[in-house]
Amino acid sequence: MTDKNMDTNITEFEDIRPYNDSEVPAAIERLLAEPGFRKTVKYFFPDVPVAETEQKLRSIKTVKDFQRKFIAVLVTGIEKMTTKGVTFNGLENIPEGKGYLIVSNHRDIILDSAILNTHLALLGRDTSEIAIGSNLLIFPWITDLVKLNRTFVVKRNLSVKELMVSSMIQSRYIRQTIIDRKTSIWIAQREGRTKNGDDKTQGSVLKMFNMAAEGDVVKSLIDLNIVPMTISYEYDPVDVHKVKEQYNKMIDTTFKKNKVDDVTGMREGLSWKKGRVTVNLGKPINDQLAMMPKAPNKNIQYDEIAKLIDKEIYKGYALYPINYVCADILTDSERFASHYTDAEHDEAIEYFDQQCEKFEGDIPLQRKMLMQIYANPVFNVEGIAH
């Protein structure tokens, strides 16, 4: 049986592709030698002896087994520790036998795609490959971990010339994976996570999908079987982290994130509370794409397609009482009061009071920014309803 993860004869994708089954044992040995990895495992499996974890990992010989026996167990444990349950809808929209380009809103660095793949694996389905920015591969052991988990690398911080070359390679990789290997790919709708809850698809991402294609824009995207995915966290596990980053950029135009910020974001996303979590897989947008009128130029066409994907992502939102409470507070109204009780209103206020204790500087401004993360999904749904 051939290794579905990658045709080893293709060298163009060598530095971005996930690992093959033949590379699993060596990668696991490197992981077990890393204190950072061992510390992470011990945090999430405090009651499991180290020797037991080592034995279990060394028994794994394939990528599929690594995902099913380790990643799925890890993510399920995180769900039990930090959520009130995960609801997974829309599996019927991605029947087996073909590859899909799952274009998702992006809230958490790791968990958005990990939750999707864990539930696919637990249901006995083939998992998707995952796009990850090279800026997050801070330590070699993180690279090993994600490449064992069917992740391919999207290179960041490139010159214009390097970006064009890299984007073309990504485009070829995506098209080959979906069309030729019939393997699905998860990718965020934009570069980086949304920082304010206002999910918007970047036209540049859509252009990258088509760089390696010839002919009509719409036809080339139909070939990729685009499926919008929406993930909704009742409590964004990195909401404070996002506000601090945006606030620092606001008061200091020279501010830039460092590697420590990314590590902190990944750790907080995994370990902080999330409440209820919902994943909704929408239907492929092929029929809607086929019916789109031809635009005057490609840029306008991509903008219209981005709006279509946004609309489908908004339809998939799970809106919780905290979202409606924030929408009412920010609009100084009671338009959405029927969506929450007095107790839920007070619970939301108490949550924001606690989170704001973590801020320094202009607390009222940061409190407003924090509430926008939760209110913007409501406003986006309102927008498609009119």
In the sheet that holds 101-104, the strands lie side by side as: 83-89, 275-281, 226-233, 101-104, 185-188, 129-133, 151-154
Q: Are residues 346 and 358 in the same domain?
A: yes
The per-residue pLDDT for range 160-187, each reduced to its tens digit, is 999 999 999 999 999 999 999 999 999 9
Domain end call among 318, 334, 368: 318
- Comparing 144 with 8, the larger pLDDT belongs to 144
Would residue 23 count as lying in a domain?
Answer: no
Confidence of residue 86 (pLDDT cuts 50, 70, 90): very high
The per-residue pLDDT for range 115-128, each reduced to its tens digit, is 999 999 999 999 99
Is the pLDDT assigned to residue 95 strictly greater than 50? Answer: yes
Percent of the chain with pLDDT over 90: 82
Helices (H) and strands (E) in the chain, counts: 17, 7
What are the DSSP calls for 297-336, one per residue? SHHHHHHHHHHHHHHHHHHT----HHHHHHHHHHHTS-TT
The per-residue pLDDT for range 52-74, each reduced to its tens digit, is 999 999 999 999 999 999 999 99
When pLDDT is averaged across residues 17-41 and rounded to a whole number, the result is 94
- Res 385: pLDDT: 61
Would residue 56 count as lying in a domain?
Answer: no
Confidence of residue 320 (pLDDT cuts 50, 70, 90): very high
Would residue 44 count as lying in a domain?
Answer: no
Would residue 4 count as lying in a domain?
Answer: no
Asked whether 4 and 183 are in contact (CB, 8 A), the reply is yes
The per-residue pLDDT for range 221-259, each reduced to its tens digit, is 999 999 999 999 999 999 999 999 999 999 998 888 777
Q: Are residues 269 and 355 in the same domain?
A: no
Would residue 74 count as lying in a domain?
Answer: no
Asked whether 231 and 107 are in contact (CB, 8 A), the reply is yes
Q: Are residues 198 and 289 in the same domain?
A: yes
- Res 115: pLDDT: 96
Would residue 66 count as lying in a domain?
Answer: no
Q: Are residues 223 and 168 in the same domain?
A: yes
* Residue in 9, 27, 174 with CA at minimum distance from that of residue 101: 174
- Res 262: pLDDT: 80
Q: Are residues 93 and 221 in the same domain?
A: yes
Confidence of residue 7 (pLDDT cuts 50, 70, 90): very low
Domain end call among 318, 348, 374: 318
The per-residue pLDDT for range 323-364, each reduced to its tens digit, is 999 999 999 999 999 999 999 999 999 999 999 999 999 999
Q: Are residues 175 and 230 in the same domain?
A: yes
Confidence of residue 196 (pLDDT cuts 50, 70, 90): very high
**Counted domains in the chain:** 2
Mean pLDDT of the chain: 93
Domain end call among 267, 296, 318: 318
193: CATH: 3.40.1130
Would residue 40 count as lying in a domain?
Answer: no
Q: Are residues 133 and 269 in the same domain?
A: yes
pTM beyond cutoff 0.85 = yes
Q: Are residues 221 and 277 in the same domain?
A: yes
Confidence of residue 288 (pLDDT cuts 50, 70, 90): very high
Element (H, E) at 126: none
Min mean pLDDT across 219-223, 296-300, 376-380 is at 296-300
Q: Are residues 190 and 326 in the same domain?
A: no
Q: Are residues 211 and 163 in the same domain?
A: yes
15: its two tokens: 């530095």
Is the pLDDT assigned to residue 98 strictly greater than 70? Answer: yes
Q: Are residues 205 and 259 in the same domain?
A: yes
Asked whether 281 and 91 are in contact (CB, 8 A), the reply is yes
Would residue 16 count as lying in a domain?
Answer: no
* Full domain range(s) for residue 231: 85-318
Q: Are residues 186 and 332 in the same domain?
A: no
